[in-house]
Amino acid sequence: MKSNKPVIIWLLLGCVLLFIMVMVGGITRLTNSGLSMTDWHLITDTFPPTSEEKWNEAFEAYKTFPEYQKINQFKSGGFNLEDYKFIYFWEWFHRFIGRIIGVVFIIPFLYFLIRKKLDRETIKKCIILLGMGAFQGFLGWFMVKSGLIDNPDVSHFRLALHLTFAFITFAYTLWVALDLMYPEKKAAVVSLQKIARIALIALIIQIIYGGFVAGLDAGLVHNHWPLMSDGQFFHESITLEQPNLLLSFTEGKSGVQFIHRTFAYIVVFMMFLLYFKSRKFSTDKQQRNGLNVLIAIVLLQFTLGVMTLLFHVPLWLGLAHQLVAFVLLTTMVYTLHRLSK
């Protein structure tokens, strides 16, 4: 582990930066800042406009797009340059962190490669990570582009794809780091490993639907729990929005919220099942710690989800719910790794 320590620190730093990027992405979404930068230039967008003249040019360009024309210009009290600077900052900061992640990954990777600090297997994994990072940048552009044409909001499918792939990139980066942190091999606890894999898949599905909820602002309807509005478990608006249930569960606010709030029970159940099944086996300290923290975090996340819904998605609760999802994924990946290797 000693010879791998710098590589492990590098990979974990990448995990931290990805966490920060998702946090800033959440703020960007919750403050409706994601469409403020109407163009995409790798070099010239590195820093915000440096003069009042440049700010005015950017603001005038923004005024030609649907978000301003259909929403912001009609806001009570108007929408001025200072308002624009606020939303511009969050989108710029989100993109800026993406650039930082690219630099932090590529330069040390080349250094470790030249100094022969990486074995063949780790090099392959790092090349995959490089491709994942590039694809995530493309997904960000692909998402923003969908909100600059007619509809002044991004496609919730593209938003969910962008969000989920960020989580997956983080999870894979963490897995590569864990492989280096725990190089010893031991027999996997096969039955627990299978349950943990299903739990991870369930969590990723829930993250996808979290993206759908965010993209459709579906958290602003049916702000009741444990039942939906009017004391209904399956609210009638689900079929009224879209008679086709498949479309309702992927494109309707009520349907998407129903899946997200209901699937949360499945995620909790799978993690409790994993925990109680593990008590029948002789697990080591790392495995027990992972399982114990997993239960605590999934209960916290469930509680945050309910509170976010009941309080109509205030910024701090919406952000906390997204960030704890990140912590839950971290714990799930760690636990699966310890049960697998």
Is pLDDT above 80 for 292? Answer: yes
pTM, two decimal places: 0.92
> Please, how many CA atoms are within 13 Å of residue 118, restricted to the half-sphere of its CB?
21
Cα 48 from chain centroid (whole Å): 25
pLDDT bucket at 1, cuts 50 / 70 / 90: very low
Q: How far apart are CA 309 and CA 220, in angstroms?
A: 7
For residue 2, the model assigns a pLDDT of 47
Q: How far apart are CA 320 and CA 325, in angstroms?
A: 8
Are residues 336 and 197 in contact, defined by beta-carbon separation less than 8 angstroms?
yes
For 41, phi then psi, to 5°, come to -125, 120
Q: Which of 146, 156, 162, 154 is nearest to 259 (CA)?
A: 156
> Please, how many CA atoms are within 13 Å of residue 299, restricted to the half-sphere of its CB?
8
Tell me which residue has tokens 């509005």: 229
Q: How far apart are CA 201 and CA 196, in angstroms?
A: 9
Are residues 309 and 225 in contact, defined by beta-carbon separation less than 8 angstroms?
yes
Q: How far apart are CA 18 and CA 12, in angstroms?
A: 10
Neighbour tally for 142: CB within 10 Å: 15
pLDDT bucket at 3, cuts 50 / 70 / 90: low
What residue ranges do the domains of the chain occupy?
A: 1-183, 187-341
Q: How far apart are CA 68 and CA 36, in angstroms?
A: 9
Are residues 228 and 235 in contact, defined by beta-carbon separation less than 8 angstroms?
yes
Task: Read off the pLDDT of each residue in 111-126 and give the average, rounded to a whole number.
Answer: 93
- What is the identity of the amino acid at 126? C
For residue 213, the model assigns a pLDDT of 96
Is pLDDT above 80 for 151? Answer: no
- What is the identity of the amino acid at 201? I
Task: Read off the pLDDT of each residue in 68-79 and give the average, rounded to a whole number.
Answer: 86
